[in-house]
Amino acid sequence: MKFNTDVLHAEQLHARLTGSYKPQAMAHVSPIYQTSTYVLEDFDTAVYLNQHVDEGFVYTRFGNPSCDELEKKIAHLEHAEAALSLASGLGAISTAVMSVVKAGDHVVFGDVIYGCSYALFAKVLTNLGVTYTRVDTTKVEEVEKAIQPNTSLVYVETPANPTLKISDIAAIAQAVHKHPNITMIVDSTFASPYLQNPLDLGADMVVHSATKYLSGHGTVTAGVIAGSKARIDHCRMPYLQCFGAVLDPFAAWQLMQGMKTLGVRMERHCENAMKVARHLEKHPKVNRVYYPGLESHPTHEIAKKQMHNGFGGMMSVDIKGGMDAVRTVMNNVKVFSLATSLGNVDSLIQHSPSMSHFDMTPEERHAAEIFDGQVRLSIGIEDADDLIADLDQALALV
């Protein structure tokens, strides 16, 4: 072979020139399949796999061995038949939602959900002929009352971003499934599979922004969907096929490395968050702490029943003094990083009204108890005493 042929094909283990593929090592850490396409055995195999993408690999937009391994891990953790990995949390949410709704349908979702999820329902799907009703999903009777003959989806975020309201997944699922044409999707990002398994409680699909606790280190943007094989196959083809929110194989590999420590990380997140929440609840410059582990939280009892191993690492705090006080605190914390994400090993702080929930009007935010003086804390795995001291010195400047 001449050079340009040789440099492409020599010693390639899959190549016909060197015979059939034979593994050279049983790697302890899974390899990264950083490839966009795959060499197929023959014409008939190529035709078959292009028409049955769930049975092999033909093109990474449809599936990839690294992503496939991640999906199997997610399905296992969420007690699901199958899972799908995507390029972002919103990629997962929008793909799951679009696999359910069509023009003329009606959707019910919570009055407190992530701002971009709200924008999907209120600013995108409405242009496609989908209507919606927002309700307090902590009240099952409100969910039931909102259901219409053309309702196709009930979407629940629990714990809710940013007020940490906990909705009773099992009770809502029981009410929803009286209507066989309605699908229930739960965004369980704040909980992670360590704390909550919505499918066990009756949900049809569960979505996560895997960027957050599943990754845990702020290095990956990713999302996942888990559910029955039929639903996940439908999400993959034609929705992922056409929308193209495909997770990069290297990102899938990084995410799997992060997931190895999910349990030990979540244990520390929960322990630290409880200490910080109890301290701030008594702080003279704090009006209110929103943390489901506190007895004062209005949905604490649901959280005790529904979540296992703890109450998570997220909380919001109303600071006395409004926006000026928020600015002072956020500009003067030293251990907390001012960042709009969450779920990292290091602690983060953000202002939900102007950052994650800016798409809502002031009236909508206030009705949902997202006030101007509210900060959201993502409690990391540092020493809790250092986190408390950092917040105390910043609050002392208010």
Q: Which residues are marked as active site?
A: 61, 114, 187, 212
Q: How far apart are the first and last CA of the chain?
A: 74
Residue type present at position 181: N
Tell me phi and psi for residue 88, to 5 degrees: -165, 165
Instruction: Please say whether the dihedral angle defined by the alpha carbons of residues 107, 148, 136 and 139, taken in this order, is positive or negative.
Output: negative
Nearest to 357 by CA among 344, 385, 376, 338: 376
Pairing of strands 131-135, 106-110: parallel
Question: From its phi and psi, is residue 213 left (phi > 0), alpha (psi between -120 and 50) or beta?
Answer: alpha
- Residue carrying the six token digits 């005790």: 304
Residue type, 183: T
Strands 106-110 and 151-157: what pairing?
parallel
Handedness of CA 20, 25, 28, 29 (dihedral sign): negative
Q: Write the DSSP string, 227-292.
A: E-HHHHHHIIIIIIHHH--BPPHHHHHHHHHHHTTHHHHHHHHHHHHHHHHHHHHT-TTEEEEE-T
- Report the residue count for the chain: 398
**Element housing 67 (H / E):** helix 65-77
**Sheet arrangement for strand 337-338:** 286-290, 314-319, 374-378, 348-350, 337-338
Cβ atoms of residues 315 and 290 within 8 Å: yes
Q: Cα separation of 46 and 189, whole Å?
A: 38
